């Protein structure tokens, strides 16, 4: 196996998936867009063939021939003997042409009855979109699981919390990681809500204005595992790209979150911070500086997140203010959608791996939490509560105490001197010790959602339960899709109908 030049200088071989992820599409080809749609177009064809049999366009035997031809085509595609022919414009014409070669035009020529490529591609895209949603949910689940495990291990790992990139107040690494899990669960909800909203079947809309063939749209919707029919035929066609745009907006949200987490990791694993250490097999090398290993995967995620935000914008703009009906503009929504899916794919899984394997330097984190007056608000709150002073008053006292400090943290004498100057009751040494202990500061935040380790553990348990519910929901949709696919493949045997053409 060939290795990049920097491999030999590295401490260990980087993992192939990390190198590939960071390399992006520099040296890998991209498939034709419609090759992604082949399995979905086969399924759409199958269900339409069964629908045509139901209304007598096909006899049972003819329908069987079409289903067998589709089956043969699928095998040929899988073993590489059938490929999309660029002369045949798109996947739909390609498949219809091959079916004609296999079972003759007398039979294949009836397959497009009551159907247009407009409703056909809208249907294919919906089928694909569902799988895309479930795929991203599954990937995000992996990351949620690792974050929750990791957060549980670090509920007691104190560190500085930041605002404006400056140390602010004390928190824990567990609370930090759990915050991302909570955001990801919201992303999951967004995907699930969207899935339910888009799971309606456009097939049967024909060019956009219905058909004279008395197609049973409910039957085809069922065969394709949709929850129902996307009833108005004009909307079914004109809304092409809408589901794609919404999915990419969800992806933009997800990727923005992953980009933020990536940035946290980049910063915290620098030599200057030293809070985290990344396994060397996750990082990539430099072609000139032999000593370097870089967090390329995290930077790639950041780059991708911006690309996806741009694609989301482009997707909502395509077909904007067109006359209702099909317009060729929408074909480009397919390319944008596929680009977004390809770019976002794998990012959550990569981060799930990173979370499982990175080293946390709790000592460095705690050391950092002990300087910079991160307990200033805790002391102000304590004085306000115990001395029954207004918070604004104790805030001013603390502000003065920070200004008067000779070190980068409160010292007993210095702090009390400020209290004396303002005729406030002094702190005892035990009060001071308690307020100076980062963990004790966390423990005194007892409200729901706080970084108090007990609260963090409670949050984690609640999130684990929630993620199990999502896991079951994903499984349910996948089972439903699979059983519909099987039913459609074996449509003849199962329904046992052998109708003849009138
Ligand atoms: N390949 C086309 C697309 O992706 C299929 C629909 C073509 N329809 C048409 N009326 N030309 O949009």
Same domain for 163 and 111, yes or no, is: no
* 228-229 vs 200-201, strand pairing mode: parallel
Residue 499 has pLDDT above 80, yes or no: no
What H or E segment, with its residue span, contains residue 296? helix 296-317
Same domain for 199 and 164, yes or no, is: yes
Same domain for 313 and 286, yes or no, is: yes
pLDDT of residue 496: 46
Residue range of the domain that includes 111: 33-115
* Ligand 1 binding pocket includes 121 (Cβ within 6 Å): yes
Q: Which of 77, 96, 115 is the last residue of a domain?
A: 115
Same domain for 167 and 183, yes or no, is: yes
- Compute, in angstroms, the gap from residue 239 CA to the centroid of ligand 1: 14
Q: Which of 435, 454, 481 is the last residue of a domain?
A: 435
Residue 9 has pLDDT above 90, yes or no: no
Q: What are the φ/ψ torsions at residue 413 (nearest 5 degrees)?
A: -60, -50
Percentage of the chain beyond pLDDT 90 is: 88
Bridge partners of 82, per DSSP, are none
Same domain for 232 and 251, yes or no, is: yes
Same domain for 190 and 61, yes or no, is: no
Tell me whether residue 495 is in a domain: no
Residue 249 has pLDDT above 80, yes or no: yes
The structural domain count of the chain equals 3
The CATH number covering residue 57 comes to: 1.10.275.10
Residue 303 has pLDDT above 50, yes or no: yes
Cα–Cα dist 416/389, whole Å: 16
Tell me whether residue 454 is in a domain: no
Tell me whether residue 476 is in a domain: no
* Ligand 1 binding pocket includes 327 (Cβ within 6 Å): no
Tokens of 20: 């590939």
Same domain for 411 and 362, yes or no, is: no
The CATH number covering residue 303 comes to: 1.20.200.10
pLDDT digits (tens, 9 = 90+) for 156-203: 999 999 999 999 999 999 999 999 999 999 999 999 999 999 999 999
Query: Which of the 8 DSSP states describes residue 10?
Result: S
Mean pLDDT of the chain: 95
Banded pLDDT at 494 (limits 50, 70, 90): very low
Cα–Cα dist 47/40, whole Å: 11
Same domain for 245 and 361, yes or no, is: yes
Tell me whether residue 382 is in a domain: yes
Same domain for 409 and 277, yes or no, is: no
**312-318 own/partner pairs: CB under 8 Å, 24+ apart:** 312/245, 312/248, 312/249, 312/251, 312/252, 312/340, 315/241, 315/244, 315/245, 315/248, 315/340, 316/245, 316/249, 318/241
Residue 299 has pLDDT above 60, yes or no: yes
Residue 495 has pLDDT above 50, yes or no: no
Q: In Å, how far from its chain's centre is CA 123? A: 23
Cα–Cα dist 179/147, whole Å: 9
pLDDT of residue 8: 65
pLDDT of residue 248: 98
Those residues with Cβ within 8 angstroms of residue 304's Cβ, 6 or more apart along the chain or in another chain: 255, 259, 343, 344, 347
* Ligand 1 binding pocket includes 326 (Cβ within 6 Å): yes
| Residue 447 is among the residues annotated as catalytic for this protein | no
- Compute, in angstroms, the gap from residue 339 CA to the centroid of ligand 1: 19
* 166-172 vs 158-163, strand pairing mode: antiparallel
Tell me whether residue 59 is in a domain: yes
Tell me whether residue 497 is in a domain: no
Cα–Cα dist 141/352, whole Å: 9
Among 288-297, 394-403, 453-462, the range scoring the smallest mean pLDDT is 288-297
Tell me whether residue 13 is in a domain: no
- Compute, in angstroms, the gap from residue 91 CA to the centroid of ligand 1: 10
Inter-residue contact 405 to 416 (CB < 8 Å)? no
Same domain for 405 and 313, yes or no, is: no
pLDDT digits (tens, 9 = 90+) for 347-373: 999 999 999 999 999 999 999 999 999
Among 108-112, 150-154, 209-213, 317-321, the range scoring the smallest mean pLDDT is 317-321
Tell me whether residue 469 is in a domain: no
- Arithmetic mean of pLDDT, 466-487: 96
Inter-residue contact 345 to 142 (CB < 8 Å)? no
**pTM as predicted:** 0.95
Same domain for 301 and 198, yes or no, is: yes
pLDDT digits (tens, 9 = 90+) for 309-359: 999 999 999 988 899 999 999 999 999 999 999 999 999 999 999 999 999
Residue 258 has pLDDT above 70, yes or no: yes
- Give the ranges where 161-295 is alpha helix by DSSP (H): 173-198, 217-223, 233-238, 242-268
Q: Which of 80, 115, 150 is the last residue of a domain?
A: 115
pLDDT of residue 498: 55
Substitution candidate for ligand 1 out of 331, 335, 337, 338 with most atoms within 8 A of CB: 331
Same domain for 260 and 316, yes or no, is: yes
């Amino acid at each position: 196996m060939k290795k990049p030049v920097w491999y030999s200088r590295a401490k260990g071989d980087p993992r192939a998936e990390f190198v590939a992820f960071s390399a992006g599409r520099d040296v890998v080809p991209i498939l034709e867009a419609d090759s992604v749609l082949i399995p979905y177009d086969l399924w759409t064809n199958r269900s339409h063939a069964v629908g045509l049999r139901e209304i007598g366009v096909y006899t049972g035997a003819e329908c069987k021939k079409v289903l067998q031809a589709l089956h043969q085509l699928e095998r040929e595609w899988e073993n590489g003997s059938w490929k999309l022919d660029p002369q045949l414009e798109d996947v739909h014409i390609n498949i219809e042409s091959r079916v004609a070669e296999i079972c003759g035009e007398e039979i294949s020529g009836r397959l497009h009855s009551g159907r247009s490529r407009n409703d056909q591609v809208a249907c294919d895209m919906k089928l694909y979109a569902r799988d895309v949603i479930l795929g991203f949910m599954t990937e995000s689940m992996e990351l949620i699981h690792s974050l929750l495990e990791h957060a549980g291990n670090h509920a007691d790992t104190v560190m500085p919390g930041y605002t404006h990139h400056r140390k602010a107040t004390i928190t824990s690494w567990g609370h930090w990681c759990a915050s991302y899990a909570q955001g990801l669960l919201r992303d999951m909800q967004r995907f699930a809500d969207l899935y339910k909203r888009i799971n309606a079947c456009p097939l049967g809309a024909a060019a956009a204005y219905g058909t004279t063939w008395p197609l049973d749209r409910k039957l085809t919707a069922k065969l394709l595992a949709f929850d129902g029919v996307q009833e108005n035929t004009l909307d079914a066609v004109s809304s092409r790209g809408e589901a794609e745009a919404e999915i990419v907006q969800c992806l933009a949200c997800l990727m923005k979150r992953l980009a933020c987490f990536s940035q946290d990791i980049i910063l915290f694993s620098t030599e200057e911070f030293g809070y985290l250490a990344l396994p060397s097999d996750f990082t990539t090398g430099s072609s000139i500086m032999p000593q370097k290993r870089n967090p390329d995967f995290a930077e790639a995620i950041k780059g991708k997140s911006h690309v996806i935000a741009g694609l989301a914008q482009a997707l909502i703009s395509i077909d904007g203010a067109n006359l209702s009906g099909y317009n060729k503009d929408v074909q480009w929504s397919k390319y944008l959608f596929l680009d977004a899916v390809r770019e976002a794919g794998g990012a959550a899984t990569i981060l799930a791996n990173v979370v499982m394997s990175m080293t946390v330097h709790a000592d460095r984190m705690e050391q950092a939490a002990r300087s910079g007056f991160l307990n200033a608000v805790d002391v102000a709150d304590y004085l306000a509560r115990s001395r029954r002073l207004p918070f604004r008053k104790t805030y001013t006292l603390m502000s003065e105490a920070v200004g008067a400090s000779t070190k980068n943290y409160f010292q007993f004498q210095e702090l009390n001197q400020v209290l004396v100057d303002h005729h406030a009751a002094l702190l005892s040494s035990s009060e001071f010790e308690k307020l100076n202990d980062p963990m004790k500061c966390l423990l005194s935040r007892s409200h729901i959602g706080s970084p108090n380790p007990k609260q963090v553990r409670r949050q984690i348990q609640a999130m684990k339960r929630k993620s199990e519910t999502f896991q079951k929901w994903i499984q349910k949709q996948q089972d439903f899709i699979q059983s519909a696919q099987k039913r459609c493949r074996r449509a003849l045997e199962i329904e046992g109908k052998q109708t003849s053409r009138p």
